[in-house]
Amino acid sequence: MATLGIDLGTTHTVVAHNGRASVVAPDEPRPTLLPSALAYPPSRQELVGWEAKRRRPIDPVNTLLSTKRLIGARSGSYRAQRFAEHHPYEIVDHHGVAAFQTRCGVVTPVEAATRLLCTATMWSGCMTATRKAVITVPASFEQEERQATMEAARESGFAGAALIEEPVATAISYLDRSNVRYAVVYDLGGGTFDLALVDCSRYPFRVVAHAGDPYLGGDDVDRILAQRVAERVLAEHRWDLAADPVTFARLTAACETAKVALATQDRVLVELAEIDPAGPWTSQPTALAQHDLVGITQDLVRRTFSLVDHVLSDAGVRTKDVDAIFMAGGSTSLPGLRETVGQYFSKRARFDLDPMHVVAVGASLAAARPDLAGLLDAEGFAA
């Protein structure tokens, strides 16, 4: 029975089979990426993926993003409280579990993960009942988070499921073509940063040490860019784009688009009239330059390196002992980041594989090769 590798990510979900990412959004510019987003419009029809994400600027309270951050979280826990501080959703208790209150009722993080798994698998041309899945989880996930992820796999109807740690999956993707002992996996996604030191000298690969921050990633860059634009507009026009949550959500979405463009362009324009038509302007866009983005990301990058230092210190490993650095996560395309990481380790960081696909691809390779079975959470199979 064919097994899929699935990266159930905080910002995107990716499906791979036999080392190749599958199409899960055929009509979109990035057809292999399904945004990990759910939306509940007034029509009460649940939307998943790109359709859902596009509703974020107009209905942020009923557009669920980053639900993975709450999977396995108890109601009232520190994790739930921190999530509530960063997102506009109403977090409620649902039989002891932290859940989301939407206009269509309560949605638990497990239910959100189930919808994403089912949708991504269906659009990949597969049916869950005829497939097993190897699903990736951060190395930092505790038992309750792993159990909740497995519950979502069971609810999705897979014939069987297992878990694999994301840095191990990334190492498998790269080590299919090279041999190293110590590899650092630098995974900077849309919402989270994870750093792991992996011993790849023999199977099964072993995560020697890891650290991460669930609130350090591309979302932070989007928000800071939006704040900078709002401050500029307030100074120039005495008009506060941050005063209204819906308007600021539109501004943040526009800054996300600008951020992606600045990875390859020196300058982009943000159309203020599209963000707030009631503002005191006619057709005055504001410009964002690549150096603005580099300046904003400097503090973020410094925060990642403090975690790098912590991981290496815990493992008793020096930077010169690290044989390879593997980059994962879409935010590793931020201007100058890859070069900075390479300078830190005094060797070139590897990003020749698509950082958005590399985790799912590694999971699919682990699923396809019997010699890698020891890397999987075997207890997770639900035959």
* Residue-level pLDDT, tens digit, the chain, 383 residues: 588 999 999 999 999 998 999 999 999 989 999 999 999 999 999 999 999 999 998 899 999 999 999 999 999 999 999 999 888 899 999 999 999 999 999 999 999 999 999 999 999 999 888 889 999 999 999 999 999 999 999 999 998 899 999 999 999 998 865 678 999 999 999 889 999 999 988 877 889 999 999 888 988 899 999 999 999 999 999 999 999 888 998 999 999 999 999 988 999 999 999 899 888 886 678 999 999 899 888 888 889 999 999 999 999 999 999 999 999 999 999 998 999 999 999 999 999 899 999 999 999 998 887 666 666 665 444 43
The neighbour count for residue 331, using CB atoms within 10 Å, is: 27
* CATH fourth-level superfamily of 180-216+307-352: ATPase, nucleotide binding domain (3.30.420.40)
**Cβ-Cβ contacts under 8 Å for 78 (sequence gap 6 or more):** none
**pTM over cut 0.95:** no
Q: How far apart are CA 155 and CA 176, in angstroms?
A: 32
Query: What's the angle, vertex CA 81, arms to CA 80 and CA 83, rounded to 5?
Result: 65
- Write the CATH number of the domain with boundaries 218-295: 3.90.640.10
Helix (H, G, I), strand (E, B) or coil at 164: strand
Separation in Å, CA 110 to CA 8, 24, 94, 134: 12, 20, 12, 17
Query: Where do you find CATH 3.90.640.10 in the chain?
Result: 218-295
Query: Where do you find CATH 3.30.420.40 in the chain?
Result: 180-216+307-352
Please give the torsion angle defined by the CA atoms of residues 11, 13, 16 and 20, in that order, rounded to the nearest 10 degrees.
-40
Q: Longest C-alpha distance within the chain, in Å?
A: 64
